[in-house]
Amino acid sequence: MAATNIETWQSATVIETLPVATGITRIVLEPSMPVSAEPGTHIDLMVEIEGEAVKRSYSVVESTHGGTRLVISVMKAPLSRGGSIFMHSLIPGARLDITQPLQNFPLRVGAQRYILLAGGIGVTAIANMAAVLKRLKADYTLVYVGRSRNAMAYVDELSELHGERLETHIDDEGSSLKVPELVGRADASTELYMCGPIRLMDAVRRSWVERELDLPNLRYETFGNSGWYDPEEFIVRVPKLDLEVRVPQGRSMLEALEDAGAEMMFDCRKGECGLCEVRITELSGTIDHRDVFYSKRQQRLATKMNCCVSRAVTSATGAQSDAAHAGPAVITIEPN
């Protein structure tokens, strides 16, 4: 099947849950209308947060027997918007509404060389790609980066499957990744696929640009869930609608505005399309741009933001402990 982004919803049953690393659970789903999942696909599913159904995206780690089993893996993130806590509460037999696999991170067959880069839970998007490249006897290197070994899902399985093609870099073992060295190994015929924290991906992007490699050969997907700063509660004011809304730590600005009754324009809700852009008229604090729609230049201007993923913070360094004590950041906007 060609790549599709058409959402077809179906029900799925949880078959098995298994902890695979610190804070990471592997969940095996049995969809009611199975289709095989290509590498790079994800499913959207409805999670329950405070009694409300909210959509979340998870990469398909494995798809077996024509898609009759889909494996996802979920990291419990205390600062998340609440989806991962719900997912970790699932037990076998539970029913979920999920989409058929959706593709916006396709693996192109036919490149001469591949580097696959997985950072932390980002391995969920990369594992299936690596398996296919191995089967096609492609020239690939799988680079897996993590803070500590016991927080890295599937590291043993990947090692067994990929042998010397797997390269691990683990911070607390002193083998941290040197991004310029990694990108230095890419040439004009190399495609690099990456999924991981935004700081890692940003470093790779900068290095890629410095080396003047073709940007379309650098492949990544974002779920808009990883910023430069820890999320903080902040205030958004919309004079045009006579609104002042508190955006809690676990909720996006777009969601908070919708909750308050604002009719917002949006599409992807993951920082890619730019449709939820709002104009910033006043700001006390800093904008934590978490989208990939703006260029660095546009982000520095801080005159607009994509409210689906980006936030306002008062922290100077990014650590929550560093947040200003004068109160939350306040942002005044004009919606589109």
Distance CA 321, CA 230 (A): 9
Residue 232 sits in the site that holds other proteins (CB under 8 A): no
In the region spanning residues 188 to 227, those forming contacts with other proteins, defined by CB under 8 A, are 214-216, 219-222
In the region spanning residues 98 to 127, those forming contacts with other proteins, defined by CB under 8 A, are 104-111
Q: Out of 26, 29, 31, 38, point to the residue binding other proteins (CB under 8 A).
A: 38
Ramachandran category for residue 173: left, alpha or beta (phi over 0 → left; psi -120 to 50 → alpha): alpha
Quote the least distance from Cβ 271 to other proteins, whole Å. 10
What's CA 117's distance to the chain center, in Å?
14
> Which one of the spans 32-40, 79-87, 145-153, 172-180 is the region binding other proteins (CB under 8 A)?
32-40
Residue 2: exposed, middle, or buried by beta-carbon count in 10 A (0-12, 13-18, 19+)? Answer: exposed
In the region spanning residues 262 to 301, those forming contacts with other proteins, defined by CB under 8 A, are 268, 272-274, 292-295, 297-298
Residue 135 sits in the site that holds other proteins (CB under 8 A): yes
Nearer to other proteins, 301 or 316 (CB): 301
In degrees rounded to 5, what are phi and psi of residue 68?
-70, -20
Quote the least distance from Cβ 133 to other proteins, whole Å. 9
Distance CA 276, CA 263 (A): 11
Q: Tokens standing for 35?
A: 């289709």
Q: Cα–Cα distances in Å, from 18 out to 14, 74, 87, 119, 228?
A: 11, 10, 12, 21, 31
Quote the least distance from Cβ 206 to other proteins, whole Å. 14
Quote the least distance from Cβ 160 to other proteins, whole Å. 21
**Shortest CA distance to 24 belongs to which of 73, 72, 67, 60?**
73
Size of the site for other proteins (CB under 8 A): 36
Quote the least distance from Cβ 54 to other proteins, whole Å. 21
Q: What string of DSSP letters covers 234-260?
A: EEEEEGGGTEEEEE-TTS-HHHHHHHT
Q: What is the binding site for other proteins (CB under 8 A)?
A: 1-3, 5, 36, 38-39, 66, 104-111, 132, 135-136, 214-216, 219-222, 268, 272-274, 292-295, 297-298
